[in-house]
């Protein structure tokens, strides 16, 4: 009985940015719970490796090479997932990037790139997947925010705006799609060891030590820390949970 609440067999999940980092951690969790997975990203080599990893877990997995800032490409991606995997039950809007500059140095095209990748892509993917999520009968959308959904940082100009926006976008969709039995939630990762933060650690001096000192758990997060929350928010276990933004941060956001 308990395990059926977390059972994802027969379900299909799209994970944008599922070919590495936090996205791959979540995709692995969903695959271990039985879901078939569409990995969406631009880098074909990374996607092929992720698909091989996921298939080893006994599920179907496909790579759909897509730039999530390209609406036509996203439409083709959604069509291919429905065509090849038959349905869409779960959409994880995880693809993201950052350009680290203070507000007075960031250029408009840089601002647009970050907003398009982190926020507008979630709108486009969700809008285009909505008919299939509704048809699922118990659709789930999981948006990836950040500690920058709550806090600010001098170098996180467009990034913080995008991640604050994604929480409000999550709340709007949760209201709009509750009648369709689609739950929409956000995960707010703390500081996690991935390619993204390897770049940040090179650019922002002292960041590594500051995160360790500021995180009650006393460590950086690992991509495996996202498997459980992804399964919870993708499964019937979370059917009365919608519009929330759940920190997965080792206590970073509650440190006094």
Q: Please pick, among 111, 159, 220, 226, the residue that the annotation labels catalytic.
A: 159
Which CB sits closer to ligand NDP, 142 or 231? 142
Which CB sits closer to ligand NDP, 70 or 180? 70
Q: Are 23 and 16 in contact (CB under 8 A)?
A: yes
Specify whether 130 is catalytic. Answer: no
Q: Are 227 and 32 in contact (CB under 8 A)?
A: yes
Q: Are 229 and 187 in contact (CB under 8 A)?
A: yes
HSE-CB of 194 using CA atoms within 13 angstroms: 24
Q: Closest Cα partner for 222 from 28, 6, 63?
A: 28
First to last CA, the chain: 39
Helix and strand counts by DSSP (H, E) for the chain: 10, 7
Q: Contact with ligand NDP (CB under 6 A): which of 84, 105, 195, 209?
A: 195
Minimum CB–partner distance for residue 68 and ligand NDP (Å)? 4
Which CB sits closer to ligand NDP, 146 or 235? 146
Q: Contact with ligand NDP (CB under 6 A): which of 17, 139, 164, 247?
A: 17
Report if residue 204 touches ligand NDP, rule: CB under 6 A: no
The site for ligand NDP (CB under 6 A) is made up of 16-17, 19-23, 41-43, 46, 66-69, 94-97, 117-118, 144, 146, 189, 191-192, 194-197
The residues annotated with a catalytic role in the active site are 159
């Amino acid at each position: 009985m308990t395990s059926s609440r977390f059972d994802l067999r027969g379900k299909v999940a799209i994970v944008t940015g599922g070919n590495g980092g936090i996205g791959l951690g979540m995709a692995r969790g969903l695959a271990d719970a039985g879901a078939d997975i569409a990995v969406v990203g631009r880098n074909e080599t990374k996607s092929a490796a992720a698909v091989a990893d996921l298939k080893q877990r006994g599920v179907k997995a496909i790579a759909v090479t897509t730039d999530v800032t390209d609406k036509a490409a996203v439409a083709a991606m959604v069509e291919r997932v429905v065509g090849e995997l038959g349905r869409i039950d779960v959409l994880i809007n995880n693809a993201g990037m950052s350009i680290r500059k203070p507000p007075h140095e960031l250029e408009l095209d840089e601002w647009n790139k970050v907003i398009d990748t982190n926020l507008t892509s979630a709108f486009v993917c969700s809008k285009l997947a909505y008919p299939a999520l509704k048809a699922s009968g118990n659709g789930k959308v999981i948006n990836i925010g950040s500690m920058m959904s709550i806090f600010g940082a001098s170098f996180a100009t467009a990034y913080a705006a995008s991640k604050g926006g994604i929480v409000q976008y999550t709340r709007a969709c949760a209201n709009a799609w509750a009648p369709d039995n689609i739950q929409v939630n956000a995960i707010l990762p703390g500081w996690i060891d991935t390619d993204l933060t390897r770049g940040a650690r090179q650019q922002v001096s002292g960041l590594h030590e500051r995160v360790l000192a500021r995180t009650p758990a006393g460590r950086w997060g690992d991509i495996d820390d996202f498997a459980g929350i992804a399964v919870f928010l993708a499964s019937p276990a979370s059917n009365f949970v919608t519009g929330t933004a759940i920190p997965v941060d080792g206590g970073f956001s509650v440190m006094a």
